[in-house]
Structure 1
Amino acid sequence: MKIIQSKKMIILLTLLSTLFLVVLFASSNMVLFDSKGSIGEAQSSLIITSVLLMAIIIVPVLFMAIYFPYKYRQSNKEAEYTPEWEHSTKIEVVVWTVPCLIVLALGWITYQTSYSLDPRKEIVSDQEPLTIQVVAMNWKWLFIYPEQQIATINEIALPVNRPVKFLVTSDTAMNSFFIPQLGSQVYAMAGMENRLNLMAKEEGSYRGISANYSGYGFSNMRFKAHAVKAVDFEQWVKKVKTSEKILNNNSYDQLTANANEQITAPHPVTYFASVAPLKFKDIIEKHAGVQNGL
């Protein structure tokens, strides 16, 4: 009797845990499934398709993990008992064919999306892409607009329905540049330039983060990405140009020198009305050893 009660308790706890997880996921803000960009939408679709394919195996297995112990419990005298059974061709066909078909389907999807969702692949559009240079610092993000000759800390603006080419590097430890609602993340590594192409399809303010732990101030490496109309983007550029600050070697050195202050609090949004034209290139070459003749 105690064994039967224990089994019932296990089944009940399993059902309650499953229900709790379903409610938890349903009530959470799952930004990956609330995409506002073309790349993000394709990635959300990929995740859902992959999960549904794998669920073809997972759901029956979870069901049988509960049903079989219940059906063949000690107290159920009507359960079929066949101790001499050892083989079933039908079962063998099912348990081998279905997983093989799922693996083939997932393999084909992986092959297709490895090319179609390549972060370096430019987005097809009738508009020229906007270039934004991204530098991961301790513990903030520096953004340089080479065409507009401006720079910002912890804030970017980008026009809706216009491709954006992010050139990403780091002036410190490795980080991961990620705007979840717009799409892919790429690593920011010192001495290297990584590339990411995104495009926002709806206006809004989206959260940007570092998805790779990089030290004590990691939690403060957050920024805002504002997707706005083309007219509003031009107004934002004009607002940045009204700043009294410029980004040159001296001001950049101050940003790196004050890194410890951002361990406990995020660096405030900062605008630079102008920036040295080759600043992004200099940051990369500093770590690549080019400036030292190595």
Structure 2
Amino acid sequence: MSSISKVVPEIYSGKKIREFLKEDVGLSTRIIRSASLDKRIKVDDQPVKMNFKLGEGQVVFIDLDKEETQNIEPQDIPIDIVYEDEDILVVNKRPFMTVHPTRSHPDGTLANAVMHYYKNSGQNCIVRLVSRLDMNTSGLLILGKNQFAHMQLSKEMKTDKFIKRYLAIVHGHLEQESGTINLPIYRPLEDRIKRVVDERGQESITHYKVVGRLKDADLVECVLETGRTHQIRVHLSHLGHPIFGDTLYGEEFDDSSVIERQALHAYGLDFESPRTRKSLSLRASLPQDMEELKERLK
């Protein structure tokens, strides 16, 4: 069972429990309302209403488990779990795997695999994606196991405490070995997925560093400050260094003989645990196809 238990400090003595839950615990109004209606909020083991006034030293208990259903069929598909605790699940998504069911990919997705894992391990959770990746991009993804964790991490993603790190193999050698690309990204046509650098677009910032010089290619680390669709692919292509295998933004190159997808891997995540505020630094090694490409380009 996922829950939070806290002792009331002196500062909240005489204050309503609603204030304590919002300010100290960090729960949203929506979560508080739902948990209160279900009698999942207790003080010294007794359910209380949200106007209940607290006393110093009392124990506030919040049961985060909630009966929920989701129309995602569990499927026995192997997943690579990098980290797990009572609040979050971090998986290393393989390439060519869609994250969530769509019309064109109704099953065989990461969400189907995660639902099977939850069911098989006796966890009463639904799929709550904190981050997403393109089908052909591999790497780390976070899922919140409860409303509290999902809400906290979604908020943290908008701050500089949450760092997403990628590795890409690009054509040619970048002129500067490190730098920042601050160029707006725009979607010119609503019926097309392709993005472009255009002053009409949203602010988009990518920090990059060359971490390996290869034959007519670079292994580049990219850290996202903003999270626009295809941001890394658009920015690197705009600099004249499209990612290997990227048929959308590197149309002038035919890389099908060396790699079957864009050579982009979400290898690192740095963030704080939503419960303990402990810093987590998670990493995933390059997948086999990118390792093989790197060896070919040495």
Q: Please confirm whether the aligned pair reaches a TM-score higher than 0.5, indicating the same fold.
A: no
Structure holding more strand per residue:
2
**TM-score normalised by L of structure 1:** 0.26
* Structure having greater relative contact order (Cα 8 Å, sep ≥ 6): 1
Normalised by the size of structure 2, how large is the TM-score? 0.26
Larger Rg over CA atoms: 1
